[in-house]
Chain A
Amino acid sequence: MKKTKSVLLSAPYLAWMVVFTLVPLGVVAYYALTDPATGVFTLGNLRNLGMYLPVLWNSIAYSLVSAFICLLLGYPVAYYIAHCRQTAQKFLYMLVMLPMCMSFLLRTLAWVGLLQDTGIINTMLAKIGLPRLRLIRTPAAVVLGMVYNYLPYMILPLYATLMKIDRRLIEAAEDLGCTPVQTFCKVVFPLSMPGILSGMTMVFVPAVSTFYISQKLGGTDTVLIGDVIERQFKQGNNPNLGAALSLVLMLLVFVCTGIMNRFGGGEEEVVV
């Protein structure tokens, strides 16, 4: 009796999500298929997309590299936090979360201040008599910006899975004669796979679509797909091409996360 009634509670939600997630995507598709000047049906925007393949490829490459670096840097941190005392864990967790609550625009701007030719790092180098380095407006600077901004998104899910791993499994492995390295490779790492995958997705998705980081830290040749979309809407007065590019970006992300989930699902079953 109660069950059937409470089912009705989900109806407004379903309606809301259809109206504000599916319908907007329909509108995006509508814009993508119409001409910016005349508003009539056209495939012109889609035909123009080929030109943006290099940009798309760039975005994927940068964000994949960033995701892997985040994993490399984030794993030891998450592991360390997960093995701290309760109080320290809570405090460190907070310190990882805190940057996520602060304006990422200003934090990126601070990196500009650090890296630019007349910036803090180069001024220090010059003071101790070393030559100035070309730091900003390089692909590495963009990757740095991405890693910096999205590292917490890697650490938090990793920490959550590492926390859940049953300590007795590790002890058992050690009792059975595993070296610490073997224990890590054969027990801890496979068990943390769900955390790794969700961390990778949580870094990859915002990184592949970012537009601010590359504008500030990248050069004129490090253009990412997010920059192009933003520019078409805010400056180029061609929302239709912007819409077409958004659709491509969305498909790309769904395919990538789909692959990761499929891959992750398989792994999990093996583990269980």
Chain B
Amino acid sequence: MKRANRIITVLIFIFLYIPMVVLVVASFNTGKDITQFSGFTLRQYQRLFQDRSLLGLLGNSLLVSILASLIATVFGTLSAVGIHNLNPKLRKVAMTLTDIPMTNPDIVTGVSLSLLFVFVGTKMLGQRNSLTFWTLLIAHITFNLPYVILNVMPKLKQMDASLTDAAMDLGCTPLQAFFQVTLHEIMPGVVSGAIMAFTMSLDDFVISYFVTGLDFITLPVEIYSYTKKPIQPKIYAMFTLLFLLIFVLMTAMNLIQLAADKKKVAARGK
């Protein structure tokens, strides 16, 4: 049983990673046909760094996802505290609202937001340019918020309510109590919510595709238009570099966390 599981797992990982290997190999290919390896070259990387727009678009993607996830984290954490203290009926309303963007297919979210922005911007405010950086940011914050809320709420529920009361009895102002007690308790939820929001934002294609105009485009949206043209292998070079970067970042995070866990265990052992 265990052996069969292991074989299946290995096969699945091969399945998951084969296309990525294909892309990485293609980035070193002298020819542009992904199916034939005609020789090794680094020219695609050179082309990538000479490209005017691609790296800028990566910057755009980072800007939107960092801003959106930061705002969503702060806004979402505060809101979660508020929702937590609501009466059950209103809390249910709030959670239902939170569920809508989570269950709605991305394409519907994207379509509905773009129609809203165009409707309000163009038809009601008479603006020519209603799909801008700001509308994209709003869209990203909107689909990021539920991730933060859903990560923070369980931590708030687990937290002992008497902790804040105790802090305030000891002379803390509500604000101090929040920062020194509550925030400390729910921090793991806040962090995982922020990370989730950031990755969702960075990799989002469908919603951004409907919500972007022409003046502020993110990398995934541009990649889509790349796939509609004769392929330019520098996009594979971009993929390879991003893959390496994310791999290194994730491994580093894992190692740091492992080290921290070991420390904790050691401390407890004393």
Give me the interface of A with B, judged by CB distance under 8 Å.
Answer: 1-3, 5-14, 16-18, 20-25, 27-28, 30-31, 73-74, 76-77, 79-81, 83, 86-87, 90-92, 94-111, 113-114, 116, 118-120, 123, 148, 151-152, 180, 201, 205-206, 208-209, 211-212, 216, 226, 229-230, 233, 239, 242-243, 246, 249-250, 253-254, 257
Q: B82 contacts A101, CB within 8 Å?
A: no
List residues of chain B with CB within 8 A of the CB of A30: 119
B 247-270 to A, binary, CB cutoff 8 A, 1 in contact else 0 = 100110010011001000000000
Contact B85 A94 (CB under 8 A): no
Is the C-beta of B63 less than 8 angstroms from some C-beta in chain A? no
Query: What is the chain A residue whose CB lies nearest that of B164?
Result: A2
User: Using Cβ atoms and an 8 Å threshold, which residues of chain A touch B247?
Assistant: 98
- How close is A130's CB to chain B, nearest CB, in angstroms? 17
Which residues from B are CB-within-8-Å of A205? Answer: 103, 105
- Set of chain B residues within 8 Å of A9, measured between Cβ atoms: 78-79, 81-82
Given contacts A28-B115, A113-B35, A246-B107, contact A101 B20 (CB under 8 A): no
With beta carbons under 8 angstroms apart, the residue of A22, A95, A119, A230 that contacts B97 is A22
Q: Offer 29 A-B interface pairs, CB within 8 angstroms, sorted by A.
A: A3-B85, A6-B81, A6-B85, A6-B174, A8-B82, A11-B82, A13-B75, A13-B76, A17-B94, A24-B109, A27-B116, A77-B5, A77-B8, A77-B12, A79-B5, A100-B203, A102-B242, A103-B203, A105-B227, A106-B23, A106-B236, A109-B231, A110-B18, A118-B35, A119-B35, A180-B1, A205-B105, A209-B105, A249-B107
Q: Would you call B19 and A111 a contact (CB within 8 A)? A: yes
Contact (Cβ within 8 A) A10 B94: yes
8 Å CB contacts to A: which residues of B146-204?
149, 164, 168, 174, 177, 199, 202-203
Going nearest first, the 8 A-B pairs with the smallest beta carbon separation are A10-B82, A9-B82, A209-B105, A13-B79, A24-B112, A110-B19, A113-B34, A24-B116
* B75 x A250 contact (CB < 8 A): no
Task: Write out the residue numbers on chain B whose beta carbons fall within 8 Å of the beta carbon of A254.
Answer: 103
- B60-101 near A? 1/0 per residue, CB < 8 Å: 000000000000000110110111011000100110011011
- The smallest C-beta distance from A212 to any residue of chain B, in angstroms, reads 8
> Which B positions have Cβ atoms within 8 angstroms of A?
1-2, 4-6, 8-9, 12-13, 15-20, 22-23, 26, 34-36, 75-76, 78-79, 81-83, 85-86, 90, 93-94, 97-98, 100-101, 103-109, 111-113, 115-116, 119, 138-139, 142, 145, 149, 164, 168, 174, 177, 199, 202-203, 205, 210, 219-220, 223-224, 227, 231, 235-236, 239, 242-243, 246-247, 250-251, 254, 257-258, 261
Q: Chain A residue with minimal CB distance to B116?
A: A24
For B83, the chain A residues whose CB sits under 8 A away are 10, 13
CA distance A112 to B258 in the complex (A): 39
Indicate if the CB atoms of A102 and B246 lie closer than 8 Å.
Answer: yes
Main secondary structure of the interface of A (DSSP, over half): helix
User: Which residues on A sit within 8 Å (CB–CB) of B8?
Assistant: 73, 76-77, 80
Asked if residues B115 and A243 are in contact (CB atoms below 8 Å), the reply is yes
What is the chain A residue whose CB lies nearest that of B250?
A94
Choice from B106, B254, B261 contacting A94 with Cβ under 8 Å? B254
Partner of B20, one of A102, A105, A239: A102
